[in-house]
Structure 1
């Protein structure tokens, strides 16, 4: 598990960034800062691949549903819906790759961490 996730999981132990880094250095040494980089790399790689692939899929799917006339007229909305649909799947895949050993044994478990991920990635203004 990487350092950022540790800070989120145990805020009582990691009270601030500076004290958290001190605790991490004391308990795990310098190597502790680099634990968890492989799941992060794989998670973001899977997210990017899913986002690209599913965006193209949903863009065509929604255009086909709308028909040629409406697809041309509402192109921006169709592309937006395709992007949003792809993002939902891509984020769910990323969360699972990063946090769950033996990922994707059941699709209903795929979406468990999506709300916390959106809470971190979608800024509230």
Structure 2
């Protein structure tokens, strides 16, 4: 994941500095999320897929163009999603490839179907 730094290009900088962060902060406060202190910008193209992962922070999602489908799991499902160990370079990704054939998923990740 790329972390935004003040030296990003002008287009990304304008997008991040042009937002009404007070409104987003108010939304975070209304949700009881605590102080709004982290921002991430994820960009993707047509027909892209985000790997199975968990987020460390609450999210405000904005779809600029097109559509995105989400498959959400509750925190209690985490043990069955086979995440990489903490401090691993691929943490917070899951080791499960949801595009794999069902037979391989069942054999390799037996708790996934629970």
Higher helix share goes to which structure? 1
Larger Rg: 1
TM-score > 0.5, shorter chain as reference: no
Q: Which has the higher contact order (CA 8 A, sep 6+)?
A: 1
Shorter-normalised TM-score: what interval?
under 0.3
TM-score (ref. length: structure 1):
0.23
